[in-house]
């Protein structure tokens, strides 16, 4: 298997799906220029109509994608930076998420909305959003959070073939990460979590780049005789509650790790599911590790420590196991 | 006007009649407490609705807005399923999930009605982009009001449609008011159409009470769009006889003078159309068409009344095309 970067995996997925299906096209600001490296070679192969540079108008071009999807196209919208989605929130919430329901199933919106999360790099408050949790509160969307090149490719390909609007949050901290990706075609289903480490002392559910940090933490803990089970939900909507609950039934302890903010966040939702449905399996209170409910500062001196890393995760897991 | 066949003119009159009687029936239903929520009537605007819609081919697309019972009727939708939808019945066009502000009949190219003012504009541009990419020659007609023209959506949509030369016709129904605020207090320019110049897009102003004038203007715009020459902005000056929405909110409001309403009623689109047809069609024939339209609406009402309400479990379907497990719902 070849080792490729997360970004290359995204590019491969787009390339394969565009070659497979004429109705798939990519649109967004500067997509033909391949500024970030996820659309290399697409312009040359598919031309400017299917690699469509848009003006800077997120709300407008999101509506355009939705209209195109209504008449049978399969747009992939690249927002580049997740923070820019706020400009498009009306279209995402009021049109993409609601059209199938509101029109009684007469239509559906097979569109993918790609958003990169550029936190932990001194890019300050308005470019550092990790905002998947906000959209989890909107029925009608599907929400994908890949944590590796392999997952990114398989999940994005599934997203493109899905008949519903899919938001895929790409962790910018993982863009350069290399991982093995098979040469032959594969798809990853939504709603099936990935168990990266099997363990019996504590369950760690982690999202996006926190998955890698949790695996590192689990490796450290293993040396101390603590076995942690690390679960990556892969998709937050739908959420594979079954795998999480089964794991907690075995370990009796749950740590949820999320780079998003705490209040009403993904970690809180996962914790609530276990508190409601797995309470009698718990041997200790559930613990969440999240970013603080604080805006993201510019200075590296201030931002460091905002997101749970392997050390913080290991410490929290040790405390949980002691209880 | 001379190019419009007699049968087409009769159909125009029939559809205007359908819309008028449909909205009058809805008004009665609303006043008797039969319709929950909110409803917006387009009585007075039937001329521009029908004139614009009938300039389209059957397989063309159309996007409406919140004041939009008439748009799908203009596009050729059957009235039974529309009326059933207004009453929230299982036989409604959206099976009771959309209601008055979200009528849509995709079978006749009516791509839905968004009640978020202005948000249908980019969706229409997207449908036009899809048609262009698919290599068909379908045109998309987008209805929006003077109020919507102040949303960013209007400007973003005009820009993209012009930039990409998309087959879309923007039909501004300028009825003079956004809720109670007159256009002159919401926009610096009186004419919305003037803004088209900023996007290098042709525009025209047309008397929205003259169905045939709107038909002619939109026909020209549709030809331009179908020929690959991009969008046109058509501004139809019109008026709604009713307030923004039905109900007691606007009782005793004085935002518009009674004389203004009375003057517009003298230029009623159905009345003007009859006057134009009078040269070669008898009043009896026109009366007959209107009676038939009235009877069709009465039939739709009966159909809607006799239809069952949806079963409660139907409230949990159609969220996704490929269902997933959600709290309380699908799977």
A196-241 pLDDT per residue, tens: 999 999 999 999 999 999 999 999 999 999 999 999 999 999 999 9
pLDDT of residue A323: 83
A108 as an active site residue: the answer is: no
Which of A55, A69, A238 lies nearest to residue B325, judging by beta carbons?
A238
Cβ <8 Å between A103 and B319: no
Cβ <8 Å between B320 and A100: yes
Beta-bridged to residue B113, according to DSSP, are B64
Helices A58-70 and B152-163 cross at an angle (nearest 10°) of 60
A111 vs A119: CA distance, rounded Å: 25
Residue A243 has pLDDT above 60, yes or no: yes
A313 vs A310: CA distance, rounded Å: 5
Residue B1 has pLDDT above 80, yes or no: no
Domain A194-322 has CATH 3.40.50.920: yes
Instruction: Tell whether omega for the bond before B147 is within 30 degrees of 0, i.e. cis.
Output: no
- Residue partners of B137: CB distance under 8 A and separation at least 6: B131, B167, B226
Cβ <8 Å between B326 and A139: yes
pLDDT of residue B252: 85
Instruction: Tell whether omega for the bond before B32 is within 30 degrees of 0, i.e. cis.
Output: no
Helix (H) or strand (E) holding B6: helix B6-31
Cβ <8 Å between A67 and B104: no
Contacts of B121 in chain A (CB under 8 A): 60, 63
CATH of B6-316, one of 3.30.70.3280, 3.40.50.1000, 3.40.50.970, 3.40.50.620: 3.40.50.970
Residues B138-158 have a mean pLDDT of 98
Reported as a single tens digit per residue, the pLDDT across B215-239 is 999 999 999 999 999 999 999 999 9
Torsion of CA B243, B247, B250, B256, to 10 degrees: 20
pLDDT of residue B330: 67
CB of A211 closer than 8 Å to CB of A232 = yes
CB of B142 closer than 8 Å to CB of B68 = no
Residue A260: φ, ψ to 5°: -80, 175
CB of B51 closer than 8 Å to CB of B211 = yes
Distance from CA of A2 to the nearest CA of B (A): 32
Reported as a single tens digit per residue, the pLDDT across B66-80 is 999 999 999 999 999
Average pLDDT of every residue of chain A: 97
Tokens of B190: 């009186």
pLDDT of residue B329: 83
More reliable by pLDDT, B330 or A43: A43
Which of B98, B140, B321 lies nearest to residue A102, judging by beta carbons?
B98
Mutation site for B-interface testing, chosen from A25, A51, A60, A193 by largest number of B Cβ within 10 Å: A60
Reported as a single tens digit per residue, the pLDDT across A67-78 is 999 999 999 999
Average pLDDT of every residue of chain B: 96
Reported as a single tens digit per residue, the pLDDT across B87-140 is 999 999 999 999 999 999 999 999 999 999 999 999 999 999 999 999 999 999
Residue B69: φ, ψ to 5°: -65, -35
Residue A242 has pLDDT above 70, yes or no: yes
Segments making up each domain of chain B, as ranges: 6-316
The answer to whether residue B148 neighbours chain A at the CB level (below 8 Å) is: no
pLDDT of residue B3: 74
Contacts of A191 in chain B (CB under 8 A): 324-325
Closest residue on chain A to B95 (Cα): A104
For the beta carbon of residue A33, count every other beta carbon within 10 angstroms: 11
Distance from CA of A198 to the nearest CA of B (A): 26
Cβ <8 Å between B116 and A106: no
Helix (H, G, I), strand (E, B) or coil at A2: strand
Q: Name the nearest CA neighbour of A225 among A248, A244, A243, A201.
A: A201
Residue B89: φ, ψ to 5°: -95, 160
HEC string of A228-275 equals EEEEECCEEECCCHHHHHHHHHHHCCEEEECCCCCCCCHHHHHHHHHH
Cβ <8 Å between B126 and A164: no
* Proportion of chain A above pLDDT 90, given as a percent: 99
Contacts of B168 in chain A (CB under 8 A): none
Which of B114, B134, B140 lies nearest to residue A94, judging by beta carbons?
B114
Cβ <8 Å between A67 and B92: no
Residues B145-149 have a mean pLDDT of 97
Stretch among A242-246, B56-60, B233-237, B280-284 having the lowest mean pLDDT: B280-284
Look-up: residue for tokens 């007609």?
B141
CATH number at A2-181: 3.40.50.970
Residue B279 has pLDDT above 80, yes or no: no
pLDDT of residue B331: 67
């Amino acid at each position: 298997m070849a080792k490729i970067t997360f970004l290359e995996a995204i590019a491969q997925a787009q390339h394969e799906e565009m070659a497979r299906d004429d109705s798939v096209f990519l649109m967004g600001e500067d997509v033909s220029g391949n500024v970030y490296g996820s659309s290399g070679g697409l312009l040359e192969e598919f031309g400017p109509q299917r690699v469509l540079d848009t003006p800077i108008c997120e709300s407008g071009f999101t509506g355009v994608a939705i209209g195109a999807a209504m008449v049978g196209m399969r747009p992939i919208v690249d927002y580049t930076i997740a923070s820019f989605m706020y400009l498009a929130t009306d279209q995402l919430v009021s049109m993409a998420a609601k059209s199938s329901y509101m029109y009684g199933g007469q239509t559906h919106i097979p569109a993918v909305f790609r958003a990169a999360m550029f936190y932990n790099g001194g890019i300050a408050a308005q470019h550092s959003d990790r905002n998947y949790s906000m959209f989890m509160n909107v029925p009608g969307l599907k929400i994908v959070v890949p944590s590796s090149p392999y997952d990114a490719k398989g999940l994005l390909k599934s997203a493109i073939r899905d008949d519903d609007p899919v938001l895929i949050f790409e962790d910018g901290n993982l863009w350069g990460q290399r991982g093995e990706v098979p040469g032959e075609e594969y798809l990853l289903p939504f709603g099936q979590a990935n168990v990266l480490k099997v363990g019996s002392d504590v369950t760690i559910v982690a999202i996006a780049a926190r998955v890698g940090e949790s695996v590192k933490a689990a490796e450290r803990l293993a040396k101390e005789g603590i076995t942690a089970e690390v679960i990556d939900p892969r998709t937050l909507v739908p959420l594979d509650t079954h795998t999480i609950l089964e794991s907690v039934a075995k370990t009796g302890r749950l740590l949820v790790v999320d780079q998003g903010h705490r209040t009403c966040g993904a970690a809180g939702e996962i914790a609530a599911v276990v508190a409601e449905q797995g309470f009698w399996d718990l041997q200790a209170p559930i613990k969440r590790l999240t970013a603080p409910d604080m805006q993201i500062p510019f200075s590296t001196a201030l931002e460091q420590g905002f997101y749970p890393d392997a050390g913080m995760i290991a410490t929290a897991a040790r405390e949980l196991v002691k209880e | 006007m001379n190019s419009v066949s007699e049968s087409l003119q009769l159909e125009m009159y029939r559809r205007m009649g359908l819309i008028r009687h449909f909205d009058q029936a809805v008004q009665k239903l609303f006043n008797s407490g039969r319709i929950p929520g909110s409803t917006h009537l387009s009585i007075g605007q039937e001329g521009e609705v029908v004139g614009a819609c009938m300039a389209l081919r059957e397989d063309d697309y159309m996007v409406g807005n919140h004041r939009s019972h008439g748009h799908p009727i203009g596009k050729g939708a059957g009235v039974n399923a529309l009326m059933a939808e207004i009453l929230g019945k299982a036989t409604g066009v959206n099976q009771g999930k959309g209601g008055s502000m979200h009528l849509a009949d995709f079978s006749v190219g009516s791509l839905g009605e968004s009640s978020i003012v202005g948000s249908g504009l980019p969706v229409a541009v997207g449908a036009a982009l899809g048609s262009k990419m698919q290599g068909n020659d379908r045109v998309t007609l987008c209805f929006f009001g003077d109020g919507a023209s102040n949303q960013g959506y209007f400007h973003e949509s005009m820009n993209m449609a012009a930039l990409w030369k998309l087959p879309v016709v923007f039909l501004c129904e300028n009825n003079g008011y956004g809720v109670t605020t007159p256009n002159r207090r919401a926009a610096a320019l009186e004419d919305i159409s003037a803004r088209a110049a900023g996007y290098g897009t042709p525009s025209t102003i047309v008397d929205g009470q003259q169905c045939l004038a709107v038909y002619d203007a939109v026909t020209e715009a549709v030809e331009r769009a179908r020929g690959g020459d991009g969008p046109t902005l058509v501004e139809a000056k019109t008026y709604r006889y009713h307030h923004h929405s039905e109900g007691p909110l606007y009782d005793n409001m004085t935002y518009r003078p009674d004389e203004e309403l009375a003057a517009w009623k003298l230029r009623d689109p159905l009345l003007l159309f009859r006057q134009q047809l009078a040269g070669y069609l008898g009043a009896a024939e026109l009366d007959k068409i209107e009676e038939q339209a009235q009877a069709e609406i009465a039939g739709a009402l009966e159909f809607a009344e006799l239809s069952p309400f949806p079963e409660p479990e139907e409230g949990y379907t159609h969220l996704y095309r490929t269902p997933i497990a959600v709290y309380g719902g699908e799977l």
